[in-house]
Amino acid sequence: MSPRRFFFVFAILLCACTHGRATGTIVLLETSLGNMTFELYDTDKPLTVANFLKYIRSGRYVLTFAHRLNTGFVLQGGSFTWSSLTGYQSVSAYPAVANEAGPFPAYSNVKGTLSMAKLPDDPDSATSGWFVNLADNSTNLDAQNDGFTVFGKILTGAAVMDALNAFTAYAGTDGENLILNVGSPLDSMPVFAVTGARYLYSDLVYTKWSIVNDPVPAITSEIGVQATRGVPFRYQIAATETPTSYSITEGTLPDGLSADTTTGLISGTPTTTGLTVVTVNATNVDGTGGSPLMILVSDPPPPSPAPVPPAVTTKKKVTGTRGHATLKGTATADTVKVEVRVGKKPFKPASGSPAGWKFVIKGLKDGKYKAQVRATNSDGKSVIQPVTVLIKN
């Protein structure tokens, strides 16, 4: 056996042994298709694993989605986020991590392994992008660009890979589980449905990473909130693992707001409008976990106009004979009822509509009477018009 052949066989055997006794960090990948868990190679790929866990704990993987799906090849994510407040954005990257693809232990890019993405012709360019091998890609990816670093293997969720491999390329016809080309770098983006040549952002394959049984705090409070300029605001940072302190990084809170680093309460009265994105952090003895927080401050709504009473039009003096007199007139369109009374008698409804109402007074003796016409609108506002009624027989 040649020295080169011996070296290759020895590396494969060493890799197999290491796989059998791996006790690395367990991470959970929640997707729109179901969940997968992976065991990371903390000891064998320390730089890559540390880099990956840093993105999880800092919250930079929050709101990420799978931007690339090549069936029978890879599912790729970790590079872009989307939300209704911020839209489509690149993940803020930490410095690139050195390639750890080999030579020992040289884990292969076989189906179900987790690897780091990187730039072409730049072995040491991996930042936030990751991919899951949906097939055995060892022949291609183990050597290309000095090899793609495999830093974890799937434990559960193989059915999710099968579902991803069942997606088909969009060919101009509405359907489900399709792969769209909306321009680089989203030229093979998986979506759940296309209707009328359009898709909704809720149809993206979102990806959410977390560390199983992590002693470091993880933020659990809402990541998008709204506030109103000039109105008192309160937001409580919530996290697991009993934090002892809190902080705000990667941005500043809107003017008028401040954070209590002991309790994690953000409060105050915003004085300016606009969208602010910060990172909220919770810390305990084991470390710090973070998450983006988007605060949208809007102007208060304009005050509702004061209710306007209706208007009623009728003659101020009406003459009748033989004990009868007819009152008639108009009222504004928002009037819901017109009523009339004579003296201190109860109001009685007039007939007709606001555009033309009428009320007949009966049974009066000769003389002068004081009457009232009352119009009421839908807001409950009323107006009363006095009328003098003169009866002559």
DSSP string, 114-164: EEE---TT-TT-BSS-EEEESS--HHHHTTGGG---EEEEEEE-HHHHHHH
Strands 317-320 and 382-391: parallel
Separation CA 27–CA 31 (nearest Å): 13
Q: What pLDDT was estimated at residue 125?
A: 97
Class of domain 216-298: mainly beta
Report CA-CA distances (Å) from 225 to 188, 229, 236, 277, 318: 32, 13, 11, 11, 63
Query: Which regions of the chain are under pLDDT 70?
Result: 1-22
Domains of the chain, by residue range, sit at 3-208, 216-298, 312-391
Coil, strand, or helix at residue 9? helix
Find tokens 């934090």 and name the residue. Answer: 243
216-298 matches 312-391 in fold: yes
* Single-letter amino acid code for the residue at 108: S
Q: What pLDDT was estimated at residue 304?
A: 84
Q: Confirm if 134 and 158 have CB atoms less than 8 A apart.
A: no
* Single-letter amino acid code for the residue at 260: D
Separation CA 65–CA 69 (nearest Å): 11
Q: Please tell me the pTM assigned to this model.
A: 0.75
Q: What pLDDT was estimated at residue 309?
A: 85
Q: Confirm if 222 and 266 have CB atoms less than 8 A apart.
A: no
Class of domain 312-391: mainly beta
The residue count of the chain comes to 393
Report DSSP state, residue 210: E
Class of domain 3-208: mainly beta
Q: In this structure, is the dihedral angle defined by the CA atoms of residues 55, 60, 62 and 68, taken in order, positive or negative?
A: negative
What the block records as the tokens of 284 is 């305990």
Q: What pLDDT was estimated at residue 248?
A: 97
